[in-house]
Amino acid sequence: MRTIVRNGRIVTSIDDYSADILIEDGRIRAIGRDLEVGSDARTVDASNLLVLPGGVDVHTHLDWEFGASHTADTFGTGTMAAAFGGTTTIVDFANQSRGAGPLAGFDNWLSRAKSACIDVGAHMIMLDIDDAALADMKILINEGVTSFKMFTAYPGVLMVDDGQLFRAMRVAGANGAMTCVHCENGPVIQVLIEEALAQGRTGPKYHMLTRPTLMEAEATHRAIRIAELAGAPVYCVHMSAAEALQSLAEARDRGIAAHGETCPHYLFLTLEEYDRPDFDAAKFVMTPPLRTHAHQDAMWRGLRTNDIQVISTDHCPFCFHERTLGAKYSKELGRDDFSKIPNGAPGIETRLPLVYDGGVRTGRISLHRMVDLTATAPAKLFGLFPRKGTIAVGSDADLVLFDPNERWAIRAADHHSRVEFSLYEGRPITGRVKKVLLRGNVIVDGAMWLGREGMGEFIKRGASGGLA
Ligand SMILES: [Zn+2]
């Protein structure tokens, strides 16, 4: 099976040139001008298009049970949506269940992930961190699960205490794995939530008002300091607060292996969305919540200065209406109580066009920086590089053919997620994903879907948390 991508403008995190790409057995065999190939090779024309490395999204929650709720996308629907958005690899969250070991959680995740249409890796969410679980972490690392996630938020549901966090970080760091931390002070936030509810403040806006930036900053600082003592690399997920970013920047300046990620919703939306009438604001209930313009500016600054290395989606899809898929998949679970609104929003299909349109075209970041933030850096930090995250001889032929000039508008009706709304409904965009190749197979061609469920492979990742 040979394919040649002709006449494209190849853009990586460092390169920008026009050449042909010859693909053989799913990998890039050669890159060059006017490559000679036999007549058996299939040609993909990339004239007037950018050829980018397939996107790597290291923060998704597909087919995930979260308290009383369940995310709305299967691995099949979620990864098809990802592909249409120019993403060819995700790293999704497997989780330990209370009272069960992490290995059982990983087996459960593997069986759910079988329907994936693009390549998938797993982080493991750790909940009960005892000696047996710590031993299982080493087994998982050998299986290619080279990152773990812990929460300082959601007491009684997902939260671990600082001692557990420290113990897990030490094991991860000593064995070549990254620790991802959801940084918010859960117990303090719980007090604020209970006080708000006692005062009859039940609307979606109170989700934002009970999760102050200071408590994101406090937990970010704490997680980084604990990682520092543990001698382990740390990755702060979904950063939204300027004060939290300040802690990260300070640690990085001291040479600590601390890393950060933000998400498109923090870059393109602000807390004004919570003033929407009726229950509509519930669509924007994700954690951390949307912040002010000043915090948004701080995130952009962090992307420019490399204090933040990654833009991931935190695609955690819940429908708006109960009638769409059923109550547990829906925001309506929290109609009378904001603390019961499932936390999370869709976004897996809109990352690349949003960052191109709102980041590159506006001059906030360069085209190379966009590729770095959405493909190369996450691949490097999470043990996927150079197989994923770049365009090079020997790398997987995961390619996105992108038209930088096409104008269109985001419409949930055109999306492939099972969620019936978009946070960006009607937003005009310039720049669109036209074709996507997964290991040399064209899986997206304009509006046409040529992929299939099950063609995604589980990727055993190498050591994580190294230098980006
Ligand atoms: Zn998340």
Q: What is the pLDDT of residues 240-289, one digit of tens each?
A: 999 999 999 999 999 999 999 999 999 999 999 999 999 999 999 999 99
Query: What DSSP line would sit under 4-63, residue for residue?
Result: EEEEEEEE-SS-EEEEEEEEETTEEEEEETT----TTSEEEE-TT-EEEEPEEEEEE--S
Ranges 167-171, 358-362, 412-416, 462-466: which has the least confidence: 462-466
CA angle at 247 for the pair 245 and 251, rounded to the nearest 5°: 115
Query: What DSSP line would sit under 323-384, residue for residue?
Result: HHH-GGGBGGGGTT-GGGSPP-B--TTTHHHHHIIIIITTTSS-HHHHHIIIIIHHHHHTT-
Helix (H) or strand (E) holding 441: strand 441-445
Cα 344 to middle of ligand 1, angstroms: 7
Percentage of the residues of the chain whose pLDDT score is greater than 90 = 96
Cα 281 to middle of ligand 1, angstroms: 19
Cα 448 to middle of ligand 1, angstroms: 29
pLDDT tops 60 at residue 468: no
Q: What is the mean pLDDT of residues 27-32?
A: 98
pLDDT tops 80 at residue 466: no
Q: How far is CA 175 from CA 120, 260, 312, in A?
A: 21, 21, 25
Per the structure block, which two tokens stand in for 343? Answer: 């936390």
Cα 69 to middle of ligand 1, angstroms: 14
pTM of the model: 0.98
CA atoms within a 13 Å half-sphere pointing along the CA-CB vector of 271: 21
Q: What is the mean pLDDT of residues 121-149?
A: 97
Cα 131 to middle of ligand 1, angstroms: 26
Cα 59 to middle of ligand 1, angstroms: 6
Ranges 67-71, 356-360, 370-374: which has the least confidence: 67-71
Cα 449 to middle of ligand 1, angstroms: 27
d(CA 443, CA 118): 9
Cα 357 to middle of ligand 1, angstroms: 24
How confident is the model over 399-442, as pLDDT tens digits? 999 999 999 999 999 999 999 999 999 999 999 999 999 999 99
Cα 149 to middle of ligand 1, angstroms: 10
d(CA 365, CA 371): 10
**Average pLDDT score over the chain:** 97
Cα 238 to middle of ligand 1, angstroms: 7
Q: How far is CA 64 from CA 52, 78, 283, 316, 437, in A?
A: 30, 12, 18, 8, 27
pLDDT tops 90 at residue 170: yes
Cα 242 to middle of ligand 1, angstroms: 19
pLDDT-derived band at 158 (thresholds 50, 70, 90) equals very high
For the beta carbon of residue 410, count every other beta carbon within 10 angstroms.
19
Cα 286 to middle of ligand 1, angstroms: 9
Cα 345 to middle of ligand 1, angstroms: 9
- CB–CB of 318/329 below 8 Å? yes
Q: What is the dihedral of CA 82, 86, 91, 92, to 10 degrees?
A: -10
Cα 33 to middle of ligand 1, angstroms: 42
Cα 376 to middle of ligand 1, angstroms: 20
Phi–psi pair at 400, nearest 5 degrees: -120, 120
Cα 94 to middle of ligand 1, angstroms: 11
pLDDT-derived band at 237 (thresholds 50, 70, 90) equals very high
Cα 182 to middle of ligand 1, angstroms: 8
How confident is the model over 30-61, as pLDDT tens digits? 999 999 998 889 999 999 999 999 999 999 99
Query: What is the DSSP secondary structure assignment for residue 262, as one 8-state letter?
Result: E
pLDDT-derived band at 17 (thresholds 50, 70, 90) equals very high
- CB–CB of 22/30 below 8 Å? yes
Cα 76 to middle of ligand 1, angstroms: 19
Q: What is the mean pLDDT of residues 440-445?
A: 98
Cα 263 to middle of ligand 1, angstroms: 10
Burial of 10 (0-12, 13-18, 19+ CB in 10 A): buried
Cα 126 to middle of ligand 1, angstroms: 14
The pLDDT value recorded for residue 467 is 60
d(CA 114, CA 72): 17
pLDDT tops 60 at residue 334: yes
Cα 314 to middle of ligand 1, angstroms: 5
- CB–CB of 78/40 below 8 Å? no
How confident is the model over 198-222, as pLDDT tens digits? 999 999 999 999 999 999 999 999 9
Cα 272 to middle of ligand 1, angstroms: 22
d(CA 380, CA 464): 8
pLDDT-derived band at 1 (thresholds 50, 70, 90) equals confident
Per the structure block, which two tokens stand in for 83? Answer: 């592909």
DSSP 3-state assignment of 173?
helix
Cα 93 to middle of ligand 1, angstroms: 8
Cα 443 to middle of ligand 1, angstroms: 26
Q: What is the mean pLDDT of residues 8-27?
A: 98
DSSP 3-state assignment of 438?
strand
Cα 25 to middle of ligand 1, angstroms: 34
Cα 276 to middle of ligand 1, angstroms: 24
- All residues at 6 or more sequence positions from 198 whose CB lies less than 8 Å from its CB, including other chains: none
